[in-house]
Amino acid sequence: MNAAPVAQNPFRQQFKAFVASRREPDTITRRRREGFDRFIALGWPTHHQEAWRFTDLSALAQIDLQRPTNVPIDANVLPTLNAPAHRLSFVNGCFAPALSQLRGLPNQAIIASLGQALLTHPDWIEPYLEQLPGLSQHPFAALNAAFWEDGAFLHLPRAAVVEAPIHLIFYSIGDHIGVYPRLLLVLDEGAQATVVVEYRGEGRYLNAPVAELQLGAGAVLNYHQIQEESPQAFHLGGIRIHQQRDSQMNSHLVSFGGQLARVDLEALLDGEHIHSMLNGLSVVDHTQVSDHHLWVDHADPYGSSEQLFKSVLNGKARTVFDGMIHVRQHAQKTEARQLNRNLLLSRQAQANSNPRLEILADDVKCGHGSSTGLLDPDALFYLRARGIPVEQARALLVQAFAQDSLNRISLTPLRERLANSLAHYLALGCIEEQ
């Protein structure tokens, strides 16, 4: 159907010009070419491909995506955390030093612009960039590998603990542009960090970020990704995660914005006693689409993973949850849990849920479940029968449903801010904290 978008050929021209303009090590250029070749080989996704069956890209295919230009933005449009934080801001994928602030860091810890580091210290970057498996079939991750210019680089040496949250803000602005930011977070053995990634913007753009998260043995990463792109924007993001033994990943994917937002996440649990928690909340209205494709691969014994995804849908909105827990034969004593719950506020909204388990080991505890339904009329009546007006009663129930996801976020200033945004996105007016 939309197999031959306007998009493909211009990419070729763009890529040629882009690579010619770069001054960077050959290894990096080679990886760009590989990315681009992969994009060409994979082609533009169509709904005939199982992985893209529910993700309609036809509106995006109509856009002749250009390289972004430099646009100055006002600091006020950027979100804050209301707490001391290391802050890196990126506008249209490029580092904005004036909107950034770094605090004191443990010895040898690095937080930097990836683009700058690549110029000054390519040896920092090369060993880690594009080294993880995963997302090999994802055309937009390939496109990102070809076109990324800048992004955030974090490297924590052994046992380094960064207390203050690391706040990474990606702001896109403009129409008909493609932005390809990159995150490279490397935590060596025993390192710990809390990262908040925020995607925002204005205009009709494509944001196709790729994040690579590497957790060494015993490392702990609290990762938050808050997607509040502009209402006309397309967000097609990829996350690769590699965890070594005893490491812990707590990730929270919150999706409020964009006309079409999709995250593909692949995690390899490559060692014993690894914990991976993937917590997700999508709130969508009108014709918004929010889509999560998750793949968690247990390669070794004694691991545990959770995928807890909730969505609230209004209007004609749609969500997709496609979650896979793969347990290799060798990965005995794995405990894995997968739950997808969808609350429909309108009968025209639609939630596609595809929780999957693929278990090759025989001594594991795995469970999954999925439910999709309207607000419980009995609960609604119960509240009204106590005098609570119907609108407030609805708000209370929806808020309770969604807040459950936010309550898993232990970073208090973020959780509180999101609770407020939640009330706003649910168009519920102000709701008191319980």
Partner 1 sequence: MLEIRNLHATVEGREILNGLDLSIGPGEVHAIMGPNGSGKSTLANVIAGREGYIVTEGEVLFDGKNLLEMEPETRACEGLFLAFQYPVEIPGVANLYFLKSAVNAVRKYRGESLVDAMDFWDLVHERMELVKMDESMLKRSVNEGFSGGEKKRNEVFQMAVLQPRFAVLDETDSGLDIDALRVVADGVNALRSPERGFLVITHYQRLLDYIVPDYVHVLVNGRIVRSGDKGLALELEQQGYALYNEEPGRARRATA
Q: Which residues contact 38 (CB under 8 A, 6 or more apart)?
A: 136, 139, 142, 145
In angstroms, give the least distance from the CB of 390 to partner 1: 7
In angstroms, give the least distance from the CB of 409 to partner 1: 15
Which span sits near partner 1 by CB under 8 A: 101-109, 143-151, 223-231, 374-382?
374-382
Q: What letter does residue 132 receive in the DSSP assignment? A: S
In angstroms, give the least distance from the CB of 309 to partner 1: 16
Residue 368 to residues 114, 356, 361, 362, 407: CA-CA distances in angstroms? 38, 8, 17, 17, 21
Task: Find the binder of partner 1 among 83, 339, 379, 428 (CB under 8 A).
Answer: 379
In angstroms, give the least distance from the CB of 91 to partner 1: 38
Task: Find the binder of partner 1 among 28, 73, 383, 428 (CB under 8 A).
Answer: 383
Which span sits near partner 1 by CB under 8 A: 38-46, 49-57, 397-405, 418-426?
397-405
The Cα 179–Cα 90 span in angstroms is 11
> What are the start-end ranges of the E strands in 119-191?
151-156, 166-173, 178-179, 182-187
The Cα 215–Cα 156 span in angstroms is 10
The Cα 289–Cα 170 span in angstroms is 20
Question: Other C-beta atoms within 10 Å of 244: how many?
Answer: 21
Q: Does 347 bind partner 1 (CB under 8 A)?
A: no
Q: Does 389 bind partner 1 (CB under 8 A)?
A: yes
Q: Which residues contact 373 (CB under 8 A, 6 or more apart)?
A: 342, 343, 344
Task: Find the binder of partner 1 among 37, 381, 420, 424 (CB under 8 A).
Answer: 381
Residue 432 to residues 158, 310, 408, 413, 429: CA-CA distances in angstroms? 43, 22, 19, 16, 10
In angstroms, give the least distance from the CB of 379 to partner 1: 5
**In this structure, what token pair is assigned to residue 228?**
């509040």
Task: Find the binder of partner 1 among 51, 159, 360, 400 (CB under 8 A).
Answer: 400
Task: Find the binder of partner 1 among 396, 409, 418, 419 (CB under 8 A).
Answer: 396
> CA 136, 235, 119, 224 torsion: positive or negative?
negative
Subset of residues 182 to 221 that bind partner 1, contact rule: CB under 8 A: none
Strand partners, 326: 297, 358
CA angle 190, 193, 195 (to 5 degrees): 150
Q: Does 48 bind partner 1 (CB under 8 A)?
A: no
Q: Does 385 bind partner 1 (CB under 8 A)?
A: yes
Nearer to partner 1, 48 or 386 (CB): 386
Which span sits near partner 1 by CB under 8 A: 47-55, 88-96, 163-171, 370-378?
370-378
Nearer to partner 1, 254 or 289 (CB): 254
Q: Does 408 bind partner 1 (CB under 8 A)?
A: no
Can you give the length of the chain in residues?
A: 434
394 phi-psi bin (left φ>0, alpha ψ -120 to 50, beta other): alpha
Radius of gyration (C-alpha) of the chain in whole angstroms: 21
In angstroms, give the least distance from the CB of 336 to partner 1: 23
In angstroms, give the least distance from the CB of 337 to partner 1: 18
**In this structure, what token pair is assigned to residue 94?**
């490029």
In angstroms, give the least distance from the CB of 109 to partner 1: 39
**In this structure, what token pair is assigned to residue 185?**
């977070």
Q: How many residues bind partner 1 (CB under 8 A)?
A: 25
Q: Does 76 bind partner 1 (CB under 8 A)?
A: no
Nearer to partner 1, 183 or 431 (CB): 431
Which span sits near partner 1 by CB under 8 A: 87-95, 147-155, 308-316, 398-406?
398-406
Q: Which residues contact 340 (CB under 8 A, 6 or more apart)?
A: 307, 309, 310, 321, 323, 353, 355, 369, 370, 371
Nearer to partner 1, 120 or 346 (CB): 346
The Cα 162–Cα 143 span in angstroms is 32
Which span sits near partner 1 by CB under 8 A: 58-66, 99-107, 132-140, 380-388?
380-388
**In this structure, what token pair is assigned to residue 388?**
């609570």
Q: Does 426 bind partner 1 (CB under 8 A)?
A: no
Which span sits near partner 1 by CB under 8 A: 133-141, 142-150, 307-315, 400-408?
400-408
Q: Does 359 bind partner 1 (CB under 8 A)?
A: no
Residue 183: name the closest of 268, 113, 264, 234 by CA: 113
Nearer to partner 1, 13 or 434 (CB): 434
Nearer to partner 1, 200 or 394 (CB): 394
Give the footprint of partner 1 on this chain (CB under 8 A). 376-379, 381-390, 392-393, 396-397, 399-401, 403-404, 432, 434
